[in-house]
Chains A and B, each alone.
Chain A
């Protein structure tokens, strides 16, 4: 397995780094497309196993080389096949994307699972997407020994990086930072009251985020009531702008994202609201540019104010912290990579055949010696005849299994046979005896 050309593992992919979005869109896979292309590639012998990871940022095809991919460049053949399947002329994607084989393909998948190849470094949704891609491929029968093991290992590696490093411990998006801050004031956000000022795009993003987090008490105040009502279709209640002063003391977290050119919440408004809240803190996320909330609010007791610049600064700091965790994450991935490669290497055919012969020879010699002790009346010539007969017997017995291992064209099946032989005959590949 040391020569990459011999490796059964193939990867071709296109991600956001090398491939523009308009090309990625054309190379994206739906589950139906995945099923169609994988079934065809396996039928034609291009791949023996296949998993396709397709998200908005990447389309990656992981495969085990099939019997028809023995000659030529299997990676180029695979890339051409995929581009033709999507109806994209190959010359249009020439030079875009990446192709890897063997250890490089494994390393890439591990990096993807750990979030090291993500647009937002360390984000963990990708681990779920890899898991889903694997689950889909395995449920449709497109994975076997090698990819089953590879993807299980990739998921383990991703989980280890998440648990053992700080790569994903702090948020790096503005909504993520805002939610983390809110959760440091109120641990459980679901029962809290949220007041959203404005019904534009930013408000909508936060509304979705809060609904996704299980928030039930969401109020939206907007100058145009209809827009607020449109936003509150799934949950919450809309109020006209005039009711802002009366809604403010009821809220625990205020998200302000209006297009107003002047502060819409003054220090005095907040002082009055806080006084009515019986010691409960009031948290402001001012996402308006220019600012919607008077900066003097930050000095009030029990009022906390974060503006968009503050959130951006925190997000940037967290990004730098994540960057520092890449080294420790890579150490974990390398460890898992070596583990996987050792397993894959152990399935190589030649060492298996050698171990099989060694095992049989050891048994033959032991049995021969034991039998001769009981047959002391034999002449040396007879002994030699028996020894040769035993050798011939072993050779005959091993002929068919050896051919079955060596001559199998399908690499996955070949590896499976090697694994079965190792299990059945309890072979020790490391033994030099």
Chain B
């Protein structure tokens, strides 16, 4: 467990370094700053994987047994999703805004990490369950990135409308690039969450004997909102601004699902 925590702390430092160089790169466009930020992020991502892998071997499962380890997995997925976005759209200036999510969750995970791994729950095992939880966390990570990107889109559109053309305006990507990045992250989230929910339903039928859980209804509503975000522009002619606002609203629904629904409405999705 100590090795896992040590690697987690190393990954955190590497992410912090990547964040620092990303900010520096945003301020002054020197190629080497961008290269350093990318390298530290990649290294942090690999070391973080090592931490999760070792933790998983100790507990004999994917690291979602308790809240701290699931937060660490979430942080890793955020970093990975950002890496995919960066590769897909060749755009690094959003890094300073997206990486703090991974840093924050990994830091909380390390601070609250239990000294001893919790005893395994024999019910919560098997490939179906593991894929369900892992993909759901990937979905949350992608939606979190889309939440930040939607805000960046609104900031950029506000700057253009209000003629506030400062450093942030010149460094942030064009509206169409932000829109595409937003679209990609929602796409990843929708696919991951849909597959995760389907696997979850199958697992629930096998173990609970029923598909029904209030969480299921909220999750499908969440997926519906994000699917609408993907289609609203092309089918209904919605502006990027309206889609961004809807996406932010969708994220509040996600937070509602993650907190109120988990804690007060259903007892089946609580980390114990």
Contacts and interface: CB of A to CB of B under 8 A. Distances in A.
Do the two chains belong together in a single complex? yes
A181 B160 contact: yes
Interface in A115-156: none
Given A184-B156, A185-B160, A281 B237 contact: no
B247 to A, nearest CB: 14
How many residues of B sit at the interface, in one of the four size bands?
20 to 34
A163 interface: yes
Nearest to B237: A278
A186 B175 CA distance: 7
Given A185-B160, A185-B176, 18 more contacts: A163-B30, A164-B30, A169-B170, A181-B160, A184-B169, A184-B174, A185-B174, A187-B173, A187-B174, A276-B237, A279-B233, A279-B237, A281-B240, A298-B161, A301-B242, A302-B241, A314-B163, A314-B165
For the complex of A and B, list the 8 residue pairs with the smallest distance between their C-beta atoms, beginning with the closest. A279-B233, A187-B174, A302-B239, A301-B239, A278-B237, A185-B175, A187-B177, A184-B174
Given A164-B30, A184-B160, A278 B169 contact: no
A275 interface: yes
Contact of B234 (A275, A278, A298, A301): A278
Interface in B196-236: 232-234
A275 B239 CA distance: 9
A358 interface: no
A310 interface: yes
B256 interface: no
A279 B240 contact: yes
Given A164-B30, A183-B174, A304 B160 contact: yes
Given A184-B156, A314-B163, A302 B176 contact: no
A99 B163 CA distance: 44
Interface in B56-76: none
B92 to A, nearest CB: 14
Interface string A179-205: 011011111000000000000000000
Contacts of B28: 164, 166
Contacts of B234: 278-279
B175 A279 contact: no
Contacts of A186: 174-176
A80 interface: no
Interface string A243-279: 0000000000000000000000000000000111111
A279 B239 contact: yes
Contacts of B252: none
Contacts of A313: 163
A414 interface: no
27 contacts: A164-B28, A164-B30, A180-B170, A183-B174, A184-B156, A186-B174, A186-B175, A186-B176, A187-B173, A187-B174, A187-B176, A274-B239, A277-B237, A278-B233, A278-B234, A279-B233, A279-B234, A279-B237, A279-B238, A279-B239, A279-B240, A279-B243, A281-B239, A301-B241, A302-B239, A302-B240, A310-B163
A278 B29 CA distance: 34
